Amino acid sequence: MFTQELTNAGHVRRFEIRSEGAEGWEMRVEQDSALVRCQRFTDWHRVERAVTRATLEIAELQNAGWTLRTATP
């Protein structure tokens, strides 16, 4: 549903929000394959807010020199 990956000096930060079917949605943030944050949502409005927060965090990282790249599945 939402996947963005950024790189900087050999490091990778990945943001992913995916549907978990009847369980709702899961948001994962990973850095260099280590899980930094994981949240589950059952309310679509919370998912929308999570996407907004992730988008803002991605913009901040880009301003700090991180490069957005196409994420691999």
User: Which residues are bridge partners to 26 per DSSP?
Assistant: 18, 40
- Residue 6 near residue 64, CB atoms below 8 Å: no
- Residue 40 near residue 26, CB atoms below 8 Å: yes
pLDDT per position as a tens digit, 13-47: 999 999 999 999 999 999 999 999 999 999 999 99
- Residue 12 near residue 31, CB atoms below 8 Å: yes
pTM of the model: 0.88
DSSP letter assigned to residue 43? S
What pLDDT shows up at residue 49? 96
Residue 27: both structure tokens together: 């948001």
Residue 1 has pLDDT above 90, yes or no: no
pLDDT per position as a tens digit, 43-70: 999 999 999 999 999 999 999 999 998 6
What pLDDT shows up at residue 12? 96
Q: How far does CA 9 lie from the centroid of its chain? A: 19
